[in-house]
Every structure is written in C-alpha cells, then in structure tokens.
C-alpha cells in the first residue's frame, strides 16, 4: 500500500443488545482530504470512529482499507497503516512526553530503511510541529489536558501512517492551538494522508474540512462539502437549538451562529 489510502465504511451498523448506536452508514475517508464527523452528543461519532479504526467490529456492513476488510490486518500491520487519537490518552506510568511521542515509531522498528537516528529526527519534528518540544522531559500525567492532547497528536504524527483518525482533538485546546492543530491536519492531508476527525466545533469543520458528515441518532443526516451540510434549518433541527449560517467575513467558508 502506498502513501495515499482510502478507508471506507459500507452500510455499517453497530448494535449492543437492542441499542442501535450506528445504523447504515456509508462514507469514505480519502487520501489527500480531511473528512469531519459532526453531530450532537450521542449521535454515534465516537463509535463510528472506533469502527473505522478497527477497534470495534461492526454488527452490520464492512470497513475496508484500500479494498481489504480491516479485520484481516494484524494489529501490527494495522498500526503501520492507521494512527488513532482517542478522546483521552490515559498513561498511568511516569513516561516523559518524549517517550510517549516515540511510541508512535514502534510499528516501524523492523523497517529495513528505518534507524534510531531517523526515529529521533521524526520524533523531534513531530514535537516541534505540535509546539511540545519544551514539554519533552515533563512526565506525561503531570501535563495539563491540552498539553497531553498536543503530545498525543505528536505521537500520531510520528507514526507516519497513510490514515489518521482523531476523536475530538481540539476539545481541550485553547483557540490558538485549536487552529494550529487543524492546520497541521490540513498540511498532513496535503501530503496524501486521509484524515478522519470528530469535531464538536462546527466552525472548525467549516474552515478546515473538505467534506463533513453530519450524524443524528447513529445515521447520516447529511454529507458533502461544508457549505452544503451546514444548513441552518438542518442544524437547528438536529441540535435542537436555533442556528443561523452566514458567509464568514474573513474566510471562504460558512460561519455557524447560535441564536
């Protein structure tokens, strides 16, 4: 598999007992693009991301990575193809921030063209990109929530996979680092990586995603470019909150306002 990859869900569903958490979802995360998953709490975003990552097995439909069912990959093989940033990175042991980022290089240790010097260079670059170099010697559990998120983001950048999946990577970040993180993902997509990201901030999705998928009660309520998905009537109904959508005064994208 080359750098560019496509991760596809076809008629995917996931149920626990009688609870249908995801129902009949079809979508594709394509190399070179940022695909944003948005929707209210409990709409199935995180569950769908876990299914797409191969961390859960769908009870209906199929997840494929470049045409191969994702459950056919070994854990080690999958770690070389996709990197996952969960909502929380729990590390109970006193690892330094740099050690956490270096864990992203583990899937590549047996690569014949890899080396310790290359790993060290990639880790350094990932920490520089996420503004975490000054944290490298700090113990990870001692960091603030936002600092932990940035270190975890550096880890998945260091993993250098053709697919990246992130669950609310901006939730704990301040405004500067939210924008910075989304620019990093856009830049990574520009190299051919497929980026699938769960977002609560609709305006970040509007500004940085090529396409959005709006989930409601586990189903796709709308999918397409942000200008199509971010419809005031649809958003107001889906979120049960009056919203207005205007053209952003400084960016070429919609701006969602809460009324």
Give per-residue pLDDT as tens, 172-189.
999 999 999 999 999 999
Q: What is the mean pLDDT of residues 211-227?
A: 97
Question: How many distinct structural domains can be found in the chain?
Answer: 2
Domain shared by 63 and 98, yes or no: no
Q: Which pairing describes strands 6-16 and 19-30: parallel, antiparallel, or unpaired?
A: antiparallel
pLDDT at 116: 87
pLDDT at 12: 98
**pLDDT exceeds cutoff 50 at 102:** yes
Q: Where residue 93 falls among pLDDT bands split at 50, 70, 90? A: confident
Domain shared by 66 and 6, yes or no: yes
pLDDT at 154: 98
211 occurs within a structural domain: yes
- What pTM did the predictor assign? 0.94
Domain shared by 167 and 179, yes or no: yes
**pLDDT exceeds cutoff 50 at 2:** no
Domain shared by 4 and 46, yes or no: yes
Domain shared by 60 and 177, yes or no: yes
Domain shared by 144 and 168, yes or no: no
Q: Which positions ≥6 away from 115 have C-beta within 8 Å?
A: none
87 occurs within a structural domain: no
Higher pLDDT, 111 or 61: 61
Domain shared by 46 and 168, yes or no: yes
27-31, 93-97, 241-245: which range is least confident on average?
93-97
Specify the CATH number for the domain of residue 211. Answer: 3.40.50.300
117 occurs within a structural domain: yes
Domain shared by 100 and 224, yes or no: no
Contact 151, 97 (CB under 8 A): yes
Contact 28, 197 (CB under 8 A): no
SS3 69: strand
* Closest to 188 in 3D by CA, of 199, 177, 197, 200: 197
Q: Where residue 3 falls among pLDDT bands split at 50, 70, 90? A: low
CB count in 10 Å sphere of residue 200: 14
User: Which residues form the domain of 102?
Assistant: 93-160
SS3 224: strand
pLDDT in tens, 28-85: 999 999 999 999 999 999 999 999 999 999 999 999 999 999 999 999 999 999 999 9
What DSSP line would sit under 4-53, residue for residue? --EEEEEEEEEEETTEEEEEEEEEEEETT-EEEEE-STTSSHHHHHHHHH
73 occurs within a structural domain: yes
Q: Which pairing describes strands 254-258 and 243-247: parallel, antiparallel, or unpaired?
A: antiparallel
Q: How far is CA 144 from CA 34, 70, 97, 100, 167, in A?
A: 27, 34, 12, 15, 18
Domain shared by 65 and 10, yes or no: yes
Among 109-113, 178-182, 248-252, top mean pLDDT goes to 178-182
Domain shared by 74 and 174, yes or no: yes
Q: Where residue 113 falls among pLDDT bands split at 50, 70, 90? A: confident
pLDDT at 73: 95
- Residue 79: phi and psi, rounded to 5, are -65, -20
- Among residues 160, 180, 209, which one ends one of the domains? 160
Q: Where residue 1 falls among pLDDT bands split at 50, 70, 90? A: very low
- Among residues 160, 188, 213, which one ends one of the domains? 160
Residue with tokens 């709308």: 222
259 occurs within a structural domain: no
106 occurs within a structural domain: yes
- Among residues 132, 160, 188, which one ends one of the domains? 160
**pLDDT exceeds cutoff 80 at 92:** no
Domain shared by 18 and 72, yes or no: yes
Tell me the percentage of the chain whose pLDDT exceeds 70.
99
Domain shared by 20 and 70, yes or no: yes
């Amino acid at each position: 598999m080359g750098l560019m990859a496509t991760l596809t869900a076809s008629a995917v569903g996931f149920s626990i007992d009688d609870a249908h958490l995801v129902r009949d979802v079809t979508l594709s995360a394509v190399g070179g693009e940022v695909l944003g998953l948005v929707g209210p709490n409990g709409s199935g975003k995180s569950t769908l991301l876990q299914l797409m990552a191969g961390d859960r097995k769908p009870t209906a439909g199929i997840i494929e990575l470049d045409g191969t069912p994702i459950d056919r990959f070994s854990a080690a093989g999958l770690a070389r193809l996709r990197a996952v940033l969960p909502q929380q990175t729990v590390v109970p042991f006193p690892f330094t921030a740099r050690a956490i980022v270096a864990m992203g290089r583990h899937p590549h240790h047996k690569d014949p063209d890899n080396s310790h010097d290359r790993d060290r260079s990639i880790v350094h670059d990932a920490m520089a990109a996420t503004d975490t170099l000054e944290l490298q010697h700090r113990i990870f559990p001692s960091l603030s929530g936002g600092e932990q998120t940035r270190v975890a983001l550096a880890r998945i950048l260091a993993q250098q996979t053709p697919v990246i999946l992130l669950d609310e990577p901006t939730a704990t970040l301040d405004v500067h680092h939210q924008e910075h993180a989304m620019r990093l993902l856009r830049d990574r997509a520009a190299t051919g990586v497929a980026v699938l990201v769960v977002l609560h901030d609709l305006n970040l999705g509007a500004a940085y995603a090529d396409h959005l998928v709006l989930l409601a009660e586990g189903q796709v309520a709308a999918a397409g470019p942000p200008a199509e998905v971010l419809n005031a009537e649809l958003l107001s109904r889906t979120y049960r909150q009056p919203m207005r959508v205007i053209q952003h005064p400084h960016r070429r994208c919609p701006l969602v306002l809460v009324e």
